[in-house]
Amino acid sequence: MTDTPLRLVVLIGSHREGRFAPTVSRWFLGQVEQYADFDVEVIDAAEVGLTAEGPSPTASLPMLEAVGALAARMEAADAFVVVTPEYNHSYPASLKSLIDWHRTQWQAKPIGFVSYGGMSGGLRAVEHLRQVFAELHAVTVRDTVSFHLAWERFDEHGEARDPEGHARAAKTMLDQLVWWATTLRTARAERPYVTQSTGV
């Protein structure tokens, strides 16, 4: 356990009406509760006021206000976990908007994934997200939690039908996230992260 709890922001990427995200997110937050290492905050793409439009100098005032309200919360994070479905072999536009409106908030921080979907379990969305976060100087952890045919993996009460198997997957990912978050928090404190060369 770290001396000071790690600030973990859980991002819920889906925004569609009738989405399955609340079921998956509730289950995952239950797994995180077992970790004293984390101080957890949830940011839900469906509730933060961002639209699918990307950063623009002509953005509306409500959009800019929503971004401003999120910036400090995300800047304080030591780590992120993205909960995402798969839409058309990739991730939701609402999640891309949330990512694109922020930059320094991601830098030199680790990101884990919980994905869900049909046969692929959302893993194609995760692989696309790894490329995006690499561009933003974030580190994505190797192991993920994925729910293939997600609607069959939970009962009518939202409980996982294979609690032990999915709990093991969550523990592996969270253990890696703790290691990376602790290491990178120490590194950022000792030496500011540099995104480009300052020249010779």
Helix or strand or coil: residue 183?
helix
Residue 188 has pLDDT above 70, yes or no: yes
Q: What is the pLDDT of residue 200?
A: 46
Averaged pLDDT for residues 90-95: 92
Report all structural domains of the chain as residue ranges with CATH numbers, in order of start.
6-190 (3.40.50.360)
Q: Determine phi and psi for 105, rounding to 5 degrees.
A: -65, -25
Residue from 84, 10, 81 nearest 40 by CA: 10
Query: Where are any strands of DSSP class E within 45-179?
Result: 79-85, 110-116, 139-140, 145-147
Q: Give residue 50's pLDDT band: very low, low, confident or very high (50, 70, 90).
A: low
% of the chain at pLDDT higher than 90:
74
Helix or strand or coil: residue 145?
strand
Contact 133, 111 (CB under 8 A): yes
Q: Is 68 exposed, middle or buried (0-12, 13-18, 19+ CB in 10 A)?
A: exposed
Contact 123, 140 (CB under 8 A): no
Q: Give residue 24's pLDDT band: very low, low, confident or very high (50, 70, 90).
A: very high
Kindly report, residue by residue over 145-168, the tens digit of the pLDDT: 999 999 999 999 999 998 899 999
pTM for the model stands at 0.91
